[in-house]
A and B are shown apart, each in its own frame.
Chain A
Amino acid sequence: MNYLADVTALARKDLRLELRARDTLPAMLLFVLSTFVVFHFALPSGADELAAQGLLWVALVFTALLGLARAWAPEREDGALDGLVLAPSDRSAIWLGKSAAVFVFLVAIELVALPAFALFFSPLDAGAVLGVLLANVGICAVGTLLAAMAAASRTRELILPLLFLPLAIPLVVGGVGASVSTDPGRYLAFLGLYDAVFAILCWASFEYVVSE
């Protein structure tokens, strides 16, 4: 299928760029670990263990924001986005390819961050990890599209958090719920719902965001 081939090619391009440049991933990793240390000092001594679980999600959201701010940077710097948009492939493939790449970045970070969190604070159960994975999908789908919107704006990096945070709130609720509650199934299902609704919405509307 041509569409899937385009998506994979685009995603692979991004991964290869990052492997060569190695600027975004190390920064995100350092950021998330530093945030954990800040959290340690930010939590008063009587604080719940559960409070730390909540903070994990704060860290994840803001680390993702860091990565998303640079998500379209390669296209912007070379002016390549115009070229991609003019290419014969379906424009939503651009979004899907980019989201997939961001997803891989996030998972790569989390492979280190989650064990670090378990080490510094409290262990994470399967519900938490599944929650992280499901939330990643939502973060990547919505974040990539919003980052493209921000790229069209004058204020770029400044506006991306403003656009992203209200939409991230349900993800945080779902994620924290999955980590903390005794019945994570409900929250995981909710995360799945979010992912489905917004992925479809992003997929359908991306071409309007990038077209002139």
Chain B
Amino acid sequence: MSQSDYVVAAYAVIFVTLLVYVAIIAAKLARLERETAELAELARKRSSGG
């Protein structure tokens, strides 16, 4: 591996780590959205039924 390959590798590692982080956050946001939708549903049922 030449020198510049290593430089690329180093930056790639940083970049990939960031991407993974973004992916994790995206997944978390999706889950949170699902949960809020569930809770909104629960609240609706409560106010109309209870």
Q: Assess A/B contact in the complex (Cβ within 8 A).
A: no
Q: Which residues of A contact B (CB under 8 A)?
A: none
Q: Which residues of B contact A (CB under 8 A)?
A: none
